[in-house]
Amino acid sequence: MKSDPFTEKKEPLYVYELKLRSRYAETDKMGYVYHGRFLEYFEQARTEMIREAGISYLNLEEMGVMLPVAHVSIDYKRPVFYDELITIRVLIFEEPSTRLNTWYEVVGEDGKTRLTAHVVLVFVSEENRRPCPPPAAFTEGMLSLMQEYAKQH
C-alpha cells in the first residue's frame, strides 16, 4: 500500500482548492452528504485543477488519451451536512507519469478535516486501451503550476 502523505506530514508539490456548498439532493436521511457523492466532488475539483494547468478533460480525449480511475481509498473522519460550505483540496505529491496520484482533503467551514482520500488515475491510449505517458501539454502545465506553487510556499 502507498504511504499516506497526510500522516507522514509531507509537503505537496501543488495544492488546488475548490469551494462548494453541499446540496439537499446530495444528503441522506441523516442530513449527511452521502459517501458516494465525494467521488463526484473529487472529480469536479480534479477537473478544475487540470483546467488550471491549461488543458481540459475534453482536450485530453481529443488527443486520444483517457484518464480512468484505477484506485480509490477514503478515510471518513466527520460528516459533511446539508448546505455546508466545504473546501476540497487536491494535493499532488509527485510529478505525473503514466499515473496521476491525487490526494484529497475535505475541510469544513470550521477548519476541521472531514475526510481524506487517495485517487489514482491512469493515462490510457484510446486507441489500444494501454497505459501511456501523459500528453506533453498536460505535463508542462502541471509542472508550471508546481513551480509557481513552490515559489509561493
For residue range 2-33, what is the model confidence (pLDDT) as tens digits?
Answer: 678 877 888 999 999 999 999 999 999 998 99
What is the CATH classification number for the domain harbouring 137? 3.10.129.10
Show the DSSP H helices in 53-125 as ranges: 57-62
Number of independent structural domains in the chain: 1
Please tell me what DSSP assigns to residue 16.
E
The CA distance from 97 to 102, in Å, is 12
For residue 38, tell me if it sits in a domain: yes
Residue with cell string 442530513: 31
Burial class of 123 by CB neighbour count within 10 A (0 to 12, 13 to 18, 19+): buried
For residue range 104-126, what is the model confidence (pLDDT) as tens digits?
Answer: 999 999 999 999 999 999 999 99
- Inter-helix orientation angle 37-52/136-152, to 10°: 90
The CA distance from 115 to 96, in Å, is 23
* pTM across the whole model: 0.93
| Residue ranges making up the domain that contains 79 | 9-147
